[in-house]
């Protein structure tokens, strides 16, 4: 699987820092760890930011080599992500259908939990990060229940840290679901970015210490 060029990944990190989507400090993760950084894609909350985010995702997906027929965004963050990515692809001549799910089934109108295009063929799941892999597992099951197959996952950042065992959360998703995962950027790229910013020396040290405790290759 081909990775996007280094300058592309660095541009994304700079973009996330500028929009304060990628923040530094002390944040408690779902695993109960105190992380020196936090990524919240929900803070890409204006039209221009969301447009650029979709373009970054689309480029990373293209570089990954994952073959897919449609896109799926799990509620809630995945809804805006999948729409922005579909638009980014369409701008470049690739008109992919997309869908997302409701948290609760609708009992009137068209009903059901799926909104958008019917799930069929090879479905690429879109998310912001992978923590415990719960959202991916539920998406894979939902896609299969609708007669389609999950063919991969695209996320914004791979934290490259331990999941439930010695594997990273992303590696666990790959192993448990037998599908590839591509990311716009990862922890290695973040460390490279911090090393290039003298004013972020404190953040660099904190992230390096965190990686020593929880990181995987």
Give the count of domains, the chain. 1
Say whether 108 is catalytic.
yes
Range of the domain at 51: 6-214
Radius of gyration of the chain (CA): 17
* pLDDT confidence tier of residue 6, bands split at 50, 70 and 90: confident
Say whether 205 is catalytic.
no
pTM of the full predicted structure? 0.93
Cβ neighbour number for residue 137 with a 10 Å cutoff? 15
Which one of 7, 103, 108, 178 is the catalytic residue? 108
* pLDDT confidence tier of residue 138, bands split at 50, 70 and 90: very high
Q: Which of 21-35, 96-110, 138-152, 153-167 is predicted least confidently? A: 96-110
Residue 10 counted as domain residue? yes
Residue 12 counted as domain residue? yes
Residue 1 counted as domain residue? no
pLDDT exceeds 70 at position 7: yes
Q: What is the CATH number of the domain that holds 52?
A: 3.40.50.2020
Which one of 94, 106, 175, 202 is the catalytic residue? 106
Residue 95 counted as domain residue? yes
Q: pLDDT for 77-91, tens place per residue?
A: 999 999 999 999 999
* pLDDT confidence tier of residue 103, bands split at 50, 70 and 90: confident
pLDDT at 30 (0 to 100): 79
Residue 208 counted as domain residue? yes
Residue 71 counted as domain residue? yes
Residue 34 counted as domain residue? yes
Using CB atoms within 10 A of its CB, is residue 100 exposed (0-12), middle (13-18) or buried (19+)? buried
């Amino acid at each position: 699987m081909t990775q996007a060029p280094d300058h592309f990944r660095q541009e994304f990190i700079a973009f996330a820092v500028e929009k304060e989507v990628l923040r530094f400090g002390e944040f408690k993760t779902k695993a109960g760890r105190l992380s020196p950084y936090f990524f919240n894609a929900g803070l890409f909350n204006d039209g221009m930011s969301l447009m650029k985010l979709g373009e970054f995702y689309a480029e990373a997906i293209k570089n990954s080599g994952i073959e897919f027929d449609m896109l799926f965004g799990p509620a809630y963050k995945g809804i805006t992500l999948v729409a922005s990515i579909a638009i980014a692809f369409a701008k470049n001549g690739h008109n992919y259908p997309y869908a997302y799910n409701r948290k609760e089934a609708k009992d009137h109108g068209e009903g059901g939990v799926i909104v958008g295009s019917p799930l069929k063929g090879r479905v690429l799941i879109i998310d912001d990060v992978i923590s415990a892999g719960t959202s991916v597992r539920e998406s894979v099951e939902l896609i299969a229940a609708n007669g389609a197959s999950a063919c991969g996952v695209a996320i914004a950042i791979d934290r490259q840290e331990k999941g439930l065992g010695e594997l990273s959360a992303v590696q666990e998703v790959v192993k448990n679901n037998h599908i590839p995962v591509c990311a716009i950027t990862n922890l290695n790229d973040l460390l490279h970015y911090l090393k290039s910013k003298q004013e972020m020396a404190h953040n660099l040290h904190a992230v390096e210490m965190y990686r020593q405790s929880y990181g995987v290759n």
